Amino acid sequence: MTIKKVIDISQFNNVTDWNKVKATGYPVIIRIGYRGSKTGVITYDPKYKQYRTACEKNGIEHSFYFFPCSITKAEAEE
């Protein structure tokens, strides 16, 4: 098994120095959004687009994830 370190970022991180992020050599994984565990509402991360653009502009390898907290079978299937 290969273990690869990544930098996980979302609205809860305040990334201001993208050169420092790039210098780590680690790829970035950006949260696109989540489904609230209490309301079931799908919410987009307000910093997703900003962080995606910054990674693209700075040549930082990146990918995305969605954090689901389904509370019903229908939500899980959706």
How confident is the model over 17-54, as pLDDT tens digits? 999 999 999 999 999 998 877 777 888 999 999 999 99
Beta bridge partners of 13: none
Range of the domain at 47: 7-77
Question: Which DSSP string corresponds to the chain?
Answer: ------EEE-TT-----HHHHHHH---EEEEEEEE-TTT--EEE-TTHHHHHHHHHHHT--EEEEEE----SHHHHH-
The token pair at 54 is 């910054």
How many domains, the chain? 1
Residue 61 lies in a domain: yes
Task: Specify the CATH number for the domain of residue 49.
Answer: 3.20.20.80
**pTM, two decimal places:** 0.82
pLDDT confidence of 9, banded at 50, 70, 90? very high
